[in-house]
Each structure stands twice: as C-alpha cells, then as structure tokens.
Structure 1
C-alpha cells in the first residue's frame, strides 16, 4: 500500500486537466486562507486546506468531508442551481488518484457550477455596470432568505451579548500579532475601547434583538466577491456561506446584511449599499437600527482585516500575494476604525440668542451628519396645540415663552433626545439654551448613554443680528428684534467645563465654510 497522498499531490491532481471527467482546457488555481479553488471548464472544485485556526478546524479528512457536505446543503438554501455535489478523490493500491475508482478516499471537494467572472458583483461595481435597481432586487432576495431562515432557542443564544463579546475578544486576541504589520497599535486600542463601550452601554439593544426573534441561521459571509448578478436578467446568486462554525452563521440578521453593506461602502459604492438596505428593510419586518448596523459593519470590516492578515503568515501564497493581502487587511482595519469611532453617539446643543444662525446651522449639521434635529420652537408650539409655522408674537417671557413653558419644552426635547440616544443615535437640539442649569440637565441625559456631549454656540455681530431679525422670511422661530436685548440680558454664556466639546462659532461669514467647521469639529 502506498503512502497517503501529500497536500501537494492533491493540488497537482486538481491542476491536471486529465483528472476530470469533463472537458477542461486549462485550470485556474486560486486560494484563500482556508481553501484551494480550481476553475476547471464549466465547474469549480473547492478543496479545504488541512488547517486548524481555532475558529475552524479542517485538520482531518473526516472534518473536511463533514464541512464539505454542510457547505453543499447550506448553500443550496439560496443557490441550489450552483452547488452540485461533493466529489471524492480516491487513491488506489498503486497510489494513483482519481474521481472514479472505488478506493481509499484521500480528499473531498465541493463541486459548483462556474459562473461568469464578469457577473461577480465586485467586478460589476468596478466596471460601473450594476445600478441601484439590481441592488434593490438583491435586497429583496436576502430579505426573503432571512424570512425563511431557521431560528430556535439554540440558534438564538448565539446572538446573546455573551457570544457577541466572545467573538470580539477572539478578534482582538487573534490580531495582536499583526499589530505593527497590518494594523496600528492605535487602531487596535481604539477599536477595542469603542467596541467595549458600545456593548456595555447598549446591552439592552442586543437583548431586544434576541427577544424579537432576529437571531437566525444566516449566511455569515455575504461579500461582493461571492455574489453574482446577471446584468441582463437580474438573476442573483449568493455563494459561500459559513459552514464551519455555527457561531459565525447563527447571528443577528443585521449582522448578516452588515457584511454586504460594509463591503459595498468599502468599494466606494455607498449608493448601492443604501439601495440594498432600503429594499431589504422595505421587504422584511425587521427594524432599522442604524447604530447596530454600524456596530456590525465595524465587526465585519475587522474580521476581513483579520482574515486577510492570516495570509501573510501562511507558507503557500507568493510574496506578491502576501503583500496584496497585507494592503487589503490594512484597508479593512482602517474602515473598522472609522466605524468604531462613530459608534459613540453625540448629543449636540445648538445654542445662541435669536438671529445667531443656530437653527440654520443645526439643520445643515444634521443633514451632513445624517441625524435628527429637534427645534424648541416646533416642540413648544406642538405642546401648546399650535401650528409650528404660525407666528406667535408675545412680549418676552410671556405666553408660551414663560419659564414654566420653557421648562416643559426642554423636558420634552430631552425626553425625545433620550429615545434617540437609547437607539445609539446622535441628535441635535436647537434652542437658545440660555440657562446653564438646562445645559447641565442635557449633559446628564447624555451621560446616561455615555454619549459625547457638545455645545455649538452660534454668535454674530450686532449689526448682523439686527439685519437677520428684520427679515420677513424667517420661519418657525418667533424671535424679533425688539426681544433681542431682553434675551441677551437673560443669556448665560457656556463655559468650556460644561461640555466635552464647546465650539463657539461666528456665523456672519460664508455659510458653507462655517458649516464645514461645525461638522468636522463635532462629527467627523
């Protein structure tokens, strides 16, 4: 009896066109950190490497065979016409390898239908062929897949915070050796700090998802390199789900879609990501929670950085392949860092006397940051049963502008802000905020969720205030020139100790320049 075939002998077998029982002119060989892929004619043969990486174990033939069968069955859920069979490579008594001779099994391969390279989503994006409509179709496909995905108490426990934390701890442990090679010490430390803060502060969000039944048997690895779309028919195939570790496949559905949305944004295809997400949420019963999406996009980018980092320490890839993998890994770690630093929500007070430009700048800041802005004048009039756009001219400190009404207004503003912060969302509150005690109360609300508390104080010279307050086109606000002196007399200017960030900004200059300064200081 000859010796067991070596890993190289298996590779050589798949590289030989004569090994196959179908027409093959040439073989393309590609590899990932865990698999060899052989593109042979109309088919692709995927052979798992005999590796044990902790989170996956393909170290024995029995384990690779079980994983191959699982891969076939699981991927048939969403791409049944692509995943064909599991083929066994046999070794006869003379040591010859073949697919057909009944003998000792040396290796197994997942056999897939070969799809055109030009239909690979990453290539479609690079060539500019795919548009929002195709991504909306994909969003509907994934929503349908998730609606049918299995869930159970066993599956649900993988979405518990304990498991999510374990996944992150594993990430940080497994990437420590790459610090200084594919990620900086600052990236590793900052990501760890911000992720731990989010999990600590928003434990209730993870529990809410678990109790809502959103932890399901998902795909686990939805990326643009493994999605194929026919540009003419729109037919989409989503390939290569995670079969080797339930912990990575049993997940929150938001985590599943976050892989693809992160991948799309990483390829500068933000519009396609939005089209995919909009369609997904429209066709599913799921609730959009932006902070959790960002959390899981951060996670997915970090995992991709880790996986590409593994390549640089493996013996098989060439120096060129390792250099490319290292560059890709660094890019994914940078993206993860960018998402991590945006996890902490902001509570921003846009303050100042009437005519200072705070309302206009609050709106523009909210537009740029993609967050809600709440206007005190709107809330005040709604509380009083008035149309927010109707003028309500009263003397200073009277009518709906008494101190009692102001207390009611600020309380309503802050309660609304509390709801946004509870979802991990930033929010901007536009009001005069003329009293330090009201600003201190806002700071307490921010502290409940460890949000960054910032004050944007808008100012302008007297002559500019007078011109602005004299304009008849002012909306929402009831500020008038004759009230300015009284309000200034009651206004208590903020000190640096009141907020984590205090930006005092003269708004009399060019608007967009000031708006950019505000955004870059408070949100960028």
Structure 2
C-alpha cells in the first residue's frame, strides 16, 4: 500500500469512528478537528488525538511504531505544563467491517493505532479565540509571561556537546523552512518570490553574523527543552489562567531551543493578529522577569523564523484543502511572508530616559508608551533587586546593608546601561525607567546615545508634591511594587532636586501625569535622524 493509500485509509477509519460515538464512550455527536499533522476526535469529556501517517522533512509518522513513540513523547513533554489535560494513551483496534474499538494502549493488539487521550476543554477558551472575541486582557498577558518564565526556569538545560543550540543547529531549521517555501511560493504565489528572496538573504547574513551570539547563548544556559510551538492556539485559559499545551513532540531539535526562540513565536503571533501592543507587553513582562536583555540580540532572527514557520504551515494545509479553505491558506501564507519581511526591516531607534520623582508615574505611564510604540523598557527598581537576588515585589529589608547604597546605585545603572546597549544595537527603541535625579547618571546615558548615534530624549514625568505623596502612600499600602520609596525618600528627593541643564531641557518632553497621557499628541514618532517621522 502506498503512503497516499495509508493516509486515505487512516482518515476513512477515523471518520468511521466518528460515526460511532458509543465506541468513544459517549452518546453525543463527535466533533472533528484537523491540523496539518494530526486528526482529533472530540467526544464528550475527552479528545483523542491521532497522528497522520506522514513523512516530512521535519517529522516522521510513517509507521505505527513511530506514531506510538511520538504519542508517548507528547504525553511526557506536555505534562510539564498541562498535567491535568494530558491523561493517557489509547489505541484504535478493529476495522470498519468487524467493528472499531478504542482500548487502553497496554491492552491493545500490536497493530492498533495509538492516540493521546486528553481532557476536553471549551474551544472558546483557546487564547486565539479569546483574542478574536476581544476578551484577551493585559492581565492575561502578564500572567502568561509569569507562566512561560516559570516553565523555562524549570526546563532542562542543554549542554555544549549535545548538539542543541549551536549556530549550525539554529540556522538549519531556518534554511529548511526557506527551502520548503520556495517551491510553494513559486507555484502558488510567484509575485511573492522577491519577498521570499529578500527574507532569505537577510536570514543568511544575520545567521552568520549572530553565530558567536548563538554559541554564547548555549554556553550561558539559555538553550533549554522549551515548548517549541508557543502560539495562541496552543494556549488555553484554565480557571482563568493561561496554560501551555501541545508542545512539539515529533522533533527534539525544534524543542531544544533558545528561550527567546520560544517567546518570539508568541510575540510574532500576537503581532500577526493585529495586537502588537500585547506582543510588546508580553516581551517586556518576560524580560523583566528573566533579565535576559542580551536575548534581544537574537529576537528579530527568531521572529522572522517564526513567521516563516507559519507561512510554511499554511503551505502544508494548502496541499490538503480545496475551495474557500485553499484561498484562506494562500492569504495566510502571504500575510506571514510579509510579516517576516517586516521584522527584517530597520525600525526607528532612540533612547528615552524616564525622569522624575518617586510617584510621578514613570512606570505606570511609560508602559502604555512602550506597548504602543514597540519599545524595550528597563526599570531601575527591578534591576536593582535582581542584583541582590530578589523578585521585583520582594521587600529588601532582609538584605544586610540594604540595596540603596551608592555602590548599589552605580551597579544598577551599569546593568541599565548594558541592557540599553544590547537593545539599541539590536535595533530596538529603549526606555530606561529610573529617577535620573543625579545629573551624572543622565549624562552617562546621553553619552551612550551619542556613542551609538541614536537620538536621546528625556521624558519628564511631573505632578505636584501633594499628589506624589498620596501616590507613594497608596503604593506602599498596596504592596508588591518594585519600588520601595516612601514619603521620606520622596521628600528628600524633592529637597535635593536640581533643574535640567539648558542642553538637557532641549531634549525634554514634559508629561503631566495628573491627567490621562495622550502619547500620540504628546510624542510624534521619532525617526533615526531624530526628526519627527
């Protein structure tokens, strides 16, 4: 029997099973979902996931033994994040003539078709659908960043010599993806050939230039057993909290990757779905939790790759569909190819300094700006605590000698400067969130911008002293904030304050935080030349 016959026979058999709800333990109708590599039957409280008998350049499900091994691996890798969803393995025995039977895998005959049994959830709870329904909130994004960071923190770490995360291992799947897309595009969308060629040229140049960075990321433990397919359709709200599922099981090379390669998929997906603001909120929340600002050097490379992956998946589905579904696949492939090219283009780069007293609204108000404009934010309050092994919301009272010494402040600004340098050199606009009440600290960052030949602006966040006092008191009472400044600290800042110099004032934009801030009105976008865009 040919591979095509195997595929048709397996599909026919599962459609027959779909028509026998009793064999699946339910009296209700059975729903059918198809992906480019799997068939899923949704029956009652359960989902049965079968592998398609395929052999592609990135997976091999061509034999029953290989499909069984893939099912076993799927159970293992997904119980790391969703143990309640992934139940056990079953197998389909019998045929359409003598009757079909679903059995526990251990009780099934050797020729039975294996499947993963999962607990069913409401499809409306998928984050892709939550977003479409306009119910995905900033709180969901913040919780997702915590969930992903926690998962990565506990994930197994790749070691040099295992083959994962080397420059060659990073570039190989990108090259494979481009090679697979070339005949797809040539046949279905020849007008996009120049777009694909431009992206391929960018990937080749940047893949080579970043080779030492990839190796350094491996050496410093940033390559781990990640998820591998971290997009919105593989995230679900469980008890109102986002949860990862459907990690890649079929190819370990696609799972043992840089953590930035993992989060780049989600950031790309949010932007592809028209929510670049949420993408940047997620990226900044993840960066604050990990401190991995060095990873910004490889972010664009991985965002381009992830867009190419989705373009390729659309191409695979294209070969399996007809009619309106085929037209939708073509449109999707075109959208992702253009997004890949977008990520490869230079963007306006500038260094912004968030300047002001404690309670002036620097952190609260700047978050909206960085999400809206696609910027990286680095916060002094967070990085200061990281220096001492503290989480951003931890109290520092237990640290001997305290964390607010002159030496700690100098070290904190060293970290801020290094993070800003990484981000700027990687082509990202950066906002550094600190009080910047010390003129020497301001001059250090202005000099950094001059060295890197990018514009520098100072955002002066302002409010009357009585408003500042009330905000600081309220923040202390609420607890959990990275800033620990109290009214005493605020009043000391106020008493010692000196105005900006004439040269600094020329860079300043004054932000009144006693009223809602309209960034579009206050700050026209700035180009690389420093002029309004």
TM interval, shorter chain, is 0.5 to 0.7
162, 165, 176: which one aligns with 2:182: 176
Give the superposition deviation at 1:427: 7.6
SS in 2 for 1:108: strand
Which structure has the greater CA radius of gyration? 1
Deviations 1:103-125 (A, max 9, x none): 45331111111111221101111
SS in 1 for 2:164: helix
* 2:345 corresponds to 1:341: yes
Give the superposition deviation at 1:66: 0.6
* 2:241 corresponds to 1:235: yes
Taking a change above 3 Å as real, the CA distance of residues 17 and 185 of structure 1, as seen in their structure-2 partners, is same
Q: Show the counterpart of 1:150.
A: 156
Q: Show the counterpart of 1:318.
A: 322
Q: Which runs of 5+ in 2 are unaligned?
A: 352-368, 378-416, 431-447, 456-498, 507-519
Equivalent positions of 1:28-427 (< 5 A) are 28-91=31-94, 95-100=98-103, 102-153=108-159, 157-180=163-186, 181-182=188-189, 184-230=192-238, 233-284=239-290, 286-287=292-293, 289-314=295-320, 317-342=321-346, 370=375, 419-420=421-422, 423-425=425-427
SS in 2 for 1:86: strand
Give the superposition deviation at 1:320: 2.2
| Aligned 8 A contact 2:217 2:223 in 1 | yes
TM-score of the superposition, structure 2-length normalised? 0.65
| Aligned 8 A contact 2:350 2:528 in 1 | no
Task: Supply the distance in 2 between the matched residues of 1:274 and 1:519 (Cα, whole angstroms).
Answer: 20
Task: Supply the distance in 1 between the matched residues of 2:169 and 2:288 (Cα, whole angstroms).
Answer: 29
| Aligned 8 A contact 2:146 2:286 in 1 | yes
Task: Supply the distance in 2 between the matched residues of 1:205 and 1:84 (Cα, whole angstroms).
Answer: 40
Task: Supply the distance in 1 between the matched residues of 2:80 and 2:201 (Cα, whole angstroms).
Answer: 38
Give the superposition deviation at 1:253: 0.4
Q: Show the counterpart of 2:12.
A: 9
Which stretch of structure 1 is more off in the superposition, 241-250 or 123-132? Answer: 123-132
| Aligned 8 A contact 2:349 2:424 in 1 | no
Taking a change above 3 Å as real, the CA distance of residues 334 and 427 of structure 1, as seen in their structure-2 partners, is closer
Taking a change above 3 Å as real, the CA distance of residues 104 and 186 of structure 1, as seen in their structure-2 partners, is same
Task: Supply the distance in 2 between the matched residues of 1:308 and 1:417 (Cα, whole angstroms).
Answer: 36
SS in 2 for 1:159: coil
Q: Show the counterpart of 2:510.
A: none
Task: Supply the distance in 1 between the matched residues of 2:140 and 2:454 (Cα, whole angstroms).
Answer: 41
Deviations 1:172-199 (A, max 9, x none): 1111112242571121111111112212
Taking a change above 3 Å as real, the CA distance of residues 90 and 162 of structure 1, as seen in their structure-2 partners, is same
SS in 2 for 1:158: coil
Give the superposition deviation at 1:8: 3.5
Deviations 1:105-148 (A, max 9, x none): 33111111111122110111111212111211111111111111
CA RMSD of aligned residues (A): 3.9
Give the superposition deviation at 1:300: 0.6
Taking a change above 3 Å as real, the CA distance of residues 222 and 151 of structure 1, as seen in their structure-2 partners, is same
Give the superposition deviation at 1:334: 1.2
Q: Which runs of 5+ in 1 are unaligned?
A: 349-363, 373-414, 429-441, 447-452, 456-472, 481-510
Which stretch of structure 1 is more off in the superposition, 302-311 or 513-522? Answer: 513-522
| Aligned 8 A contact 1:88 1:105 in 2 | no
Task: Supply the distance in 2 between the matched residues of 1:417 and 1:131 (Cα, whole angstroms).
Answer: 28
Task: Supply the distance in 2 between the matched residues of 1:422 and 1:121 (Cα, whole angstroms).
Answer: 32
Task: Supply the distance in 1 between the matched residues of 2:253 and 2:109 (Cα, whole angstroms).
Answer: 35
Taking a change above 3 Å as real, the CA distance of residues 191 and 522 of structure 1, as seen in their structure-2 partners, is farther
Give the superposition deviation at 1:304: 0.6
| Aligned 8 A contact 2:40 2:48 in 1 | yes
Task: Supply the distance in 2 between the matched residues of 1:184 and 1:334 (Cα, whole angstroms).
Answer: 9
Q: Show the counterpart of 1:496.
A: none
Taking a change above 3 Å as real, the CA distance of residues 474 and 134 of structure 1, as seen in their structure-2 partners, is closer
Taking a change above 3 Å as real, the CA distance of residues 156 and 476 of structure 1, as seen in their structure-2 partners, is farther
Deviations 1:36-78 (A, max 9, x none): 1111121111111111111101111111111011101110110
| Aligned 8 A contact 1:160 1:206 in 2 | yes
